[in-house]
Structure 1
Amino acid sequence: MVKKILLIFLLSSQLFALSSLELAKNIVNNSSKKTQLELLFSGQSYTDSNGNLDIDKISRILKTNSLLNLALKNSQSLRLNFKAKADAVLFFKIINDALNDAGYVYFIPTDLLLKDGEIDYTIQVESQYILDPGTFYTLLKSNSVYIKDIKRVGSYDYEYNLDFNKAKLKTNINLDLNVPKSLEKPLKDYVLSLKNASSLAIEANEADNWFPKVLFLDKNLNLIKGVKSEVKNNEFLEIIPSGAVYAIISDMYSLDNIRRGLKITLKR
Structure 2
Amino acid sequence: MIKKLSLIFIFSIILNASVLDNKIESLIGSSEFNENKGLIEFLFKNANNFYINDKVNYIAVMEKLKENGLLKVGLNSPQEVFITFKISDDPVKSMKIISDSLTTLGYYHYFTKNLFYDEYKTLTWTISLKTEAAIDPLMLSKELAKNSCQLIDIKQEGYIKWMYVIDTSYSTLSDTQVITNNERVDFRKPLTPYFIKVSNAKSIKIISKWSNQWFPQVVFYDKHLSILNIIKENNKKSSLQLEIPEGTTYIKIDDLYTLANISRGLSVIIKE
Return the TM-score normalized by structure 2.
Answer: 0.75
Looking at structure 2, the residues matched to 53 and 254 of structure 1 have their Cα atoms a distance apart, in angstroms, of 45
- CA change 1:201–1:230 in 2 (3 A) is closer
Partner of 2:195: 191
The residue correspondences of 1:93-104 to structure 2 (distance < 5 A) are 93-104=96-107
For residue 70 of structure 2, the aligned residue among 67, 78, 88 is 67
Partner of 1:166: 170
Looking at structure 1, the residues matched to 246 and 267 of structure 2 have their Cα atoms a distance apart, in angstroms, of 23
Looking at structure 2, the residues matched to 209 and 265 of structure 1 have their Cα atoms a distance apart, in angstroms, of 17
Partner of 2:123: 119
Looking at structure 2, the residues matched to 265 and 121 of structure 1 have their Cα atoms a distance apart, in angstroms, of 37
Looking at structure 1, the residues matched to 178 and 48 of structure 2 have their Cα atoms a distance apart, in angstroms, of 38
Question: Shift of residue 30 of structure 1?
Answer: 2.6
Q: Which has the larger radius of gyration?
A: 2
Residues 76-99 of structure 1 show CA distances to partners (whole Å, capped at 9, x for unaligned) of 322111111211221122111111
Question: Shift of residue 226 of structure 1?
Answer: 3.9
The one-letter amino acid of 2:265's match is G
Partner of 2:23: 23
Question: Shift of residue 217 of structure 1?
Answer: 1.7
Looking at structure 2, the residues matched to 54 and 67 of structure 1 have their Cα atoms a distance apart, in angstroms, of 17
Indicate yes or no: 2:147 matched with 1:143: yes
Partner of 1:128: 132
Partner of 2:59: 56
The one-letter amino acid of 1:214's match is V
Residues 115-169 of structure 1 show CA distances to partners (whole Å, capped at 9, x for unaligned) of 3432111222233332222222221112211111111124311111111122223
Partner of 2:33: 33
Looking at structure 2, the residues matched to 232 and 21 of structure 1 have their Cα atoms a distance apart, in angstroms, of 62
The one-letter amino acid of 2:187's match is L
Give the length in aligned residue pairs: 251
- CA change 1:32–1:266 in 2 (3 A) is closer
Partner of 1:266: 270
- CA change 1:237–1:216 in 2 (3 A) is farther
Q: 8 Å contact 1:20–1:45 — kept in the other structure?
A: no
Partner of 1:45: 48
Which region of structure 1 is more displaced relative to structure 2, 196-205 or 139-148? 196-205
For residue 214 of structure 1, the aligned residue among 212, 215, 219 is 219
- CA change 1:70–1:258 in 2 (3 A) is farther
- CA change 1:86–1:185 in 2 (3 A) is farther
For residue 110 of structure 1, the aligned residue among 106, 109, 113 is 113
The one-letter amino acid of 1:36's match is N
Partner of 1:3: none
Structure 1 counterpart SS, 2:48: coil
Partner of 2:9: none
Looking at structure 2, the residues matched to 200 and 239 of structure 1 have their Cα atoms a distance apart, in angstroms, of 6
The one-letter amino acid of 1:28's match is I
Q: 8 Å contact 2:220–2:248 — kept in the other structure?
A: no
Which region of structure 1 is more displaced relative to structure 2, 252-261 or 129-138? 252-261
Q: 8 Å contact 2:215–2:257 — kept in the other structure?
A: no
Looking at structure 1, the residues matched to 259 and 81 of structure 2 have their Cα atoms a distance apart, in angstroms, of 26
- CA change 1:207–1:146 in 2 (3 A) is same
CA RMSD in angstroms comes to 3.3
Instruction: Show structure 2 runs of 5+ residues with no match.
Output: 1-14
Structure 2 counterpart SS, 1:135: helix
Residues 28-55 of structure 1 show CA distances to partners (whole Å, capped at 9, x for unaligned) of 1233532624524466135465554322
